Amino acid sequence: MQMKQLNKAETAKALILCIVSISVLFAGFSSNMWRVEEEKSFLRFQRDTESLVIGRLTKSHQDGIFSAGGLTGADIDHSLHETWITPKEIDRQYLAYFDDIPLKQYSPYLSQTGGQGMLYSVLDRLIRISSTRTKYEIFQMIASALSAIVLTLVILWFHFEFGTTSAILVLVSTVLSQWLTVFGRNLWWSLWAFYLPMLAVMYFLRVNRTPAKRHFVRFGILVGFAVFAKCFFNGYEYITTTLVMMTVPFLYYSILDRTDLRQFIRVAVAIFTGTGVAILVSLVILLLQIGLAEGNALGGVQHLTSTLEKRTYGDASDYNSEFSDSLEASAVGVVLNYINGSYLDIRPNSGASDSAEADSSFKVRYSYLIISFVVVSLLAVLAWRRNKPTDQRQKDIALVIAMWFSILAPLSWFIIFKSHSYIHTHVNYIVWQMPFTLFGFAVWGVVIKHLIENTKTRTKSSQPLKTDSNVS
């Protein structure tokens, strides 16, 4: 009976956390309610890429959802891959959708499937509202809600594994992240899709802790669907980060359960097989789309190869001069630049100057967070040395190791896609939250929880024993 009541209490606590987390995150993503980002930056963040989804909506409304292969794109007289869309063309994209202006021509974006554009095109037809501006706001609310729900599921996992303190710290760190805030409602980026593969691994391995309960074929299929969904809804953006992020809970449970080599290999094979099949299928679909849109699927192979080279370590002499600096840049220099970037930058006087440095009065850099995670890891190690081996200690050890392993997720993108990272400093800081900072704040939560518990224990032990005054 007592266990049943405890389960009800824990369920109620998890439900309250879930409701609070979704509400708080949704408010931040949808309207910047917590003002962690400058309002102008929040409203105009990544309008260029989002306008490609808006272009898809207009194209779907005019010619059908699967016209031009279902790809996102723009109503411009040049190729998106030769010359990027201009501010005036971006504004025209939105006006064409809002005012139902017919498209003159359509340049498709060939580097991703554009599933987000298809999703909102379907919703555009299902939602019976005459105002397309209202529909656009609804779509942003849907994107915000999906981001809030998916990140809340990640936060709940930390709650189940490490307790409420860690979950709250992860939630607070998510709310304060300016990058998560601006990405949360963007129709193009579909922030929520990046975390689907990690969520699939987190909850499957949590529910199926013993090897006998792990159906590896089902697990591989689950991973495959999650990776395919990520590729479908936001393409191959931050793909290495997403895939490394997915393996973090796998490493955590392997250490926690002291998984033997045979079982470790079986789980790894299921993950890699499901991932490989998903990426292959998504590539085939994309090439078919390019074939429908451009009439040449083989040309799509050349385009994807060229795009990969431009974003990684291609020969600068093979491309326009605008790519020279990024292709010749040092990977170490790129990584150092991102380490020095801002996780939180509060600008109370943002209207007084055009200079971000002049406006900033409080800046938390990722380098500061990394140093704090080193400190908290050392505190955790000291606690382990004082305490006897327990299941809780093994869990803490697994968390700290998983946290430092998770730094490979952002580093993989900075290093492998070095050229892309050199250019895209206006967006790529988001990968620090996939999931390195989340795990780092979870470790802080564990250490703080132990400090509170130890303080309570010492307080109780230091209190004098009550004695009966009548006893001589």
Whether residue 258 is found in the same domain as residue 377: no
The tens digit of pLDDT for each residue in 266-320 reads: 999 999 999 999 999 999 999 999 999 988 878 889 888 988 888 888 877 777 7
Average pLDDT score over residue span 158-164 = 95
**Domain of 162, in residue numbers:** 1-184
Question: Is there a domain that residue 320 lies in?
Answer: no
Are 154 and 70 in a shared domain? yes
Strand partners, 108: 73
Do 338 and 419 sit in the same domain of this protein? yes
Same domain, 410 and 283: no
| pTM for the full predicted model | 0.93
Boundary (domain end) residue, out of 153, 184, 215: 184
Q: Are residues 287 and 347 in the same domain?
A: no
Using the structure block, give the residue that is written with the tokens 């590539």: 283
- Residue 300: alpha-carbon gap to chain centroid: 27
385-424 per-residue burial string, b: 16 or more CB within 10 A, e: under 16: eeeeeeeeeebbbbbbbbbebbbbbbbbbbbbbbbbbbbe
Q: What is the pLDDT of residue 467?
A: 52
Residue 235 Rama label (left phi>0; alpha psi -120 to 50; beta)? left
Mean pLDDT, the chain, whole residue set: 90
Instruction: Report the number of distinct structural domains present in the chain.
Output: 3
CB atoms within 10 A of CB 351: 10
Same domain, 87 and 145: yes
**Cα–Cα distance measured from residue 426 to residue 308, given in angstroms and rounded to the nearest whole number:** 20
CA distance 442 to 169: 7
Q: Give CA–CA dist 256/240, Å, rounded.
A: 25
Q: Is residue 466 part of a domain?
A: no
pLDDT in the model for residue 296: 83
pLDDT of residue 314: 82
Q: Which residue has the higher pLDDT, 394 or 468?
A: 394
pLDDT band at 184 (very low <50, low <70, confident <90, very high): very high
2-16, 79-93, 392-406, 455-469: lowest mean pLDDT where? 455-469
Spell out the long-range contacts of 294-300 with Cβ–Cβ below 8 A and sequence spacing 24 or more: 294/108, 294/110, 300/110
Q: Cα separation of 317 and 52, whole Å?
A: 30
Q: Are residues 207 and 175 in the same domain?
A: no
> Which of 297-306, 396-405, 451-460 holds the top average pLDDT?
396-405
For 73-124, give the DSSP string: EE--SS-TTTSPPPHHHHHHHHHHHHTTPPPS--EE--SS--HHHHHHHHHH
Show the DSSP H helices in 329-390 as ranges: 331-339, 356-359, 366-386
| Euclidean distance between CA atoms 461 and 207, whole angstroms | 38
| Residue 416 lies inside a defined structural domain of this protein | yes
Confidence of residue 466 (pLDDT cuts 50, 70, 90): low
Q: Is 403 domain-assigned?
A: yes
Whether residues 4 and 153 fall in one domain: yes
pLDDT of residue 472 exceeding 50, the answer is: no
Q: Are residues 91 and 234 in the same domain?
A: no
β-pairing verdict for 73-74 and 107-108: antiparallel
Q: Do 36 and 167 fall into the same domain?
A: yes
**Which of 184, 209, 244 marks a domain boundary?**
184
The proportion of the chain whose per-residue pLDDT surpasses 90, expressed as a percent, equals: 75
Which domain-ending residue is among 184, 214, 234? 184
pLDDT for the residue numbered 358: 45
Residues 17 and 127 in one domain: yes
Is residue 281 within 8 A of residue 431, CB to CB? The reply is: no
Task: Decide if 470 is inside a domain.
Answer: no
Q: Does residue 408 share a domain with residue 295?
A: no
pLDDT of residue 369: 97
> What does the longest C-alpha to C-alpha distance in the chain come to?
102
